[in-house]
A = this chain, B = another copy of it.
Amino acid sequence: MTTGAEALVQTLADCGVAACFANPGTSEMHLVTALDREPRIRSVLCLFEGVATGAADGYARIAGKPAMTLLHLGSGLTNAGANLHNARRARSPMVNVIGDHATYHLEYDAPLTSDIEALAKPNAIWTGRVEKASVGGERAAQAWLASQRNGGGPVALLLPADSAWDGGGLTAASATPDRWSAPDAGKVEAVAKRLKAAKKPCILINGTATIGDGLVAAGRLEAAGVKVFTDTFVWRQERGAGRYAPQRLGYFGEMALAELDGCDLMVLAGTQKPAAFFAYPGKPSLLIPEGCDAVDLATAVEDAGAALALLADAIGAPAAGPVSVRQVYPAPSGALSPADVGASLTRHMPAGSIIADDGVTAGLPIFTLTAGAEQHDWLFLTGGAIGIGMPLALGAAVAAPERKVICLSGDGAGMYTNQALWTMAREKLDVLTIVFANRSYRILNIEMARTGAGNPGPTASSMLSLDNPPIDWVKLAEAQGVTAARCERAEDFDTICARMLAMKGPTLIEAVC
């Protein structure tokens, strides 16, 4: 007898799913035993559902395919929600399997009953339900497909307990779809014409244009005199020595507009018109200078990288663009700063590293300094919901066990999902987490002034401060089985960072700066 749960799990494994980030409950027990019988899927227990979805996001960005998550009813799904929002913005494919009460049990409105579909829809690009055991495989295959269409994204598949435990489950087969649409030759031709006519054109990239051949093509366009920017927050960017380093559009609107000043044409490749992260009184929301036309080369659901390659050919761009040169900064010293962390990473970070960036104010100087580090991938906070760093790193490490993963996290951001440390320890994942212990929501101290909300009095100041009591990240990590150290001096950080990067397994540095 094959249960509905077994058909679902086996179908996903047949499709190619190799990891499941899970936080199960009673209604998912048959799913748990189905996973027990499926050696092709690595089951990873997470102590909070936001860890599970953040991990599936990091997994998808590195593995290029969806992981499964296992979430307990509507409450598990809502706990998972902020990182589902981020994943939707990153267009990360993932198959979220959400248990539901048995179909016949719903009418009794038991305590955990909720409207799971309604909760799922805002952050899912597809939702489905296993109405009965026999469609377990079919729905799983549909979910697999749906998560990888239109650029990709999270899908929600509801599995009622009786559909899970009933027999008669049937598996289904599915091919892997094309995740992005092919470039539109007409748009390429039209943009090529506009580029030739423009005085100061620029291109804004994301999607497949920030990795592989797409990034190479972007460099060729830069060499042809087109200024290339990335979105401020990109799903994944290949970086380091020997790779093209496009300029990152500034976070604050006035910075972005200054960078774009004088541009008369903005080509959008794998993204949409740039907008300020937040609105501010009297400041523009749309970050396109006056007199600049925005034209669409490829939307986020199209293969922007391939479109850039066609465009580079169409305008006769050089065969190769500029690339970063290897740059090793001297050993830093003095009171530790985020820039010192960046300098140390150029010195010690091994080739092939993955950086999961939830560093908030600390992230930018490190990003800037590591342009000439060994080759690495940078994963960004795409949706602005802090608390993604450690989960993202966790998932990336499961996707690429042979690569070193470095998590940059603010202290405020890290507290949201600190439970990820436990899973890192349990799974012995090769992640170095660097927590920037500035003991405040520092970004909000900046934003308080920028929004013109007035000088903060004692209550307002206190609402942005994390210094009373200071959080002891060394103890917090050790409590969850992760080796940790605190650094206040740059020279200490440089030594300890080098040592931890040379170790295998999870480590954490509380960087007091």
Contacts and interface: CB of A to CB of B under 8 A. Distances in A.
A465 to B, nearest CB: 8
A96 to B, nearest CB: 13
Contacts of A78: 78, 81-82, 84-85, 123
Interface residues of A, number: 101
A302 to B, nearest CB: 17
Interface in A152-182: 161-162, 165
Given A81-B81, A279-B162, A412-B47, A285 B122 contact: no
A447 B26 contact: yes
A105 B273 contact: no
Contacts of A27: 278-279
A22 interface: yes
B119 A426 contact: no
A75 B415 contact: no
B418 A471 contact: no
A108 B253 CA distance: 13
Contacts of A503: none
Contacts of A74: 85, 122
B75 A460 contact: no
12 contacts: A24-B464, A27-B279, A29-B448, A29-B451, A32-B460, A35-B459, A36-B457, A81-B119, A105-B278, A105-B279, A416-B419, A474-B479
Given A74-B85, A75-B384, 15 more contacts: A32-B463, A36-B459, A37-B457, A45-B462, A47-B466, A78-B81, A81-B119, A85-B112, A112-B383, A119-B119, A119-B122, A162-B279, A426-B468, A475-B475, A479-B479
Interface of A: 22, 24-27, 29-30, 32-33, 35-37, 43, 45, 47-48, 50, 74-76, 78-79, 81-82, 84-85, 89, 101-102, 104-105, 108-112, 114-115, 118-119, 121-123, 161-162, 165, 233, 272-273, 275-279, 281, 285-286, 382-385, 387, 412, 415-416, 418-419, 422, 425-426, 441, 443-444, 447-448, 451-454, 456-460, 462-464, 466, 468-476, 478-481
